Amino acid sequence: MNAQLLEGVRRPLRAAEIPRPEPGPGQVLLAVRACGVCRTDLHVLDGELSDPKLPLVLGHEIVGTVAALGPGSERFTPGQRLGVPWLGWTCGVCRYCHAGRENLCDRARFTGYQLDGGYAEYTVADERFCFVLPQGYGDLDAAPLLCAGLIGYRSLVAAGDAARLGLYGFGAAAHLVAQVARSQGRRIFAFTRAGDEAAQQLARALGAEWAGASDGVPPEPLDAAIIFAPAGDLVPTALRAVAKGGTVVCAGIHMSDIPKFPYDILWGERVVRSVANLTRRDGEEFLALAPRVPVRTTIEPYPLDRANEALERLRAGRVRGAAVLEIAR
């Protein structure tokens, strides 16, 4: 099968022909139709996450149809369309798994990082971690729901019942979470790179009442802020923007160092927290909610053999909405 292969960090992906994977016990073989391109893929490529499988097929927003079942696999039927997210396997026995916090599992394995992902014509996945996707979404449109949507949703829950919500970095995740937040009656304040008119326009089109540069001051204090951009210097900036009791949620898996800041911007029961990975329950909740909002995805499609270009456009902040690979065969 054709795949885009990561053979070493800080190197571009290489188009390669590799053996089609065989589904093991409890796994399904999926014919991949679309795979989202996530900021996390760049963190893996750049060596900012310490433990990638190599060589590796990136991609953890996979939409595919069941092409074969592994031994004992019985949850799905051939031809069924499924989604595969970042959380690819958990141990089921550690204290986190037992407490319903499998996103923190000590031995979790992640798709497109420790398990091969969806930048390829086929992939295998543990059937217990696959999702049935809502009808009414095309394959390309459904892909960003699987990480940008899920992590955005988990971040929004972590932000509590904040009425005035700031979103720092208005890309794949923020453009989805903004729609959910608006449907809940929240007010949205969008922060982008200075001068990024396209992102600010998208934010306003999706219901943000204010959009401006990320180092700017919102017109009124916020009750919570979610930081999607991997820039640690946004943490003190966001803390200064939230009112007493407000929460700043760091939604990314990697962030540059957070500069030191005076205690008085945390004082007043402000909270800084991160969001890590997802649980299957997050996925089920969000995928049921998305069509009811309804959440609409804005995508930039790329063929599989232009994965490097999609990644570099994402790095440069030039993707409007979410970049998605379209896998044709």
Interface residue list for Zn ion (CB under 5 A) = 38, 40, 90-91, 94, 97, 105, 147
For 200, list phi and psi in degrees, rounded to 5.
-65, -35
Q: CB 30 → Zn ion: shortest distance, Å?
A: 18
Of the pair 103, 237, the CB lying nearest Zn ion is at 103
Q: CB 228 → Zn ion: shortest distance, Å?
A: 11
Task: Return the axis-axis angle of helices 172-183 and 197-205, rounded to nearest 10°.
Answer: 20
Beta strands, E only, the chain: 2-6, 14-17, 27-37, 56-57, 62-69, 81-84, 87-89, 109-110, 122-126, 131-132, 164-168, 187-192, 208-213, 222-227, 242-250, 271-274, 299-303, 322-326
For 239, list phi and psi in degrees, rounded to 5.
-60, -35
Q: CB 95 → Zn ion: shortest distance, Å?
A: 8
Q: CB 37 → Zn ion: shortest distance, Å?
A: 9
State the CB neighbour count (10 A cutoff) for residue 216.
15
| Distance from C-alpha of 150 to C-alpha of 156, rounded to nearest angstrom | 10
What residue type is assigned to position 299 of the chain? I
Q: Are 168 and 214 spatial neighbours (Cβ–Cβ below 8 Å)?
A: yes
Of the pair 150, 238, the CB lying nearest Zn ion is at 150
Of the pair 28, 44, the CB lying nearest Zn ion is at 44
Q: CB 117 → Zn ion: shortest distance, Å?
A: 10
- 291: its two tokens: 């069509």
Of the pair 31, 84, the CB lying nearest Zn ion is at 84
Q: CB 270 → Zn ion: shortest distance, Å?
A: 27
Of the pair 147, 275, the CB lying nearest Zn ion is at 147
- 31: its two tokens: 């014919």
| Distance from C-alpha of 58 to C-alpha of 110, rounded to nearest angstrom | 10
| Distance from C-alpha of 111 to C-alpha of 35, rounded to nearest angstrom | 12
158-162-165-166 Cα dihedral, nearest 10 degrees: -60
Q: CB 124 → Zn ion: shortest distance, Å?
A: 19
Of the pair 69, 142, the CB lying nearest Zn ion is at 142
Of the pair 241, 275, the CB lying nearest Zn ion is at 275
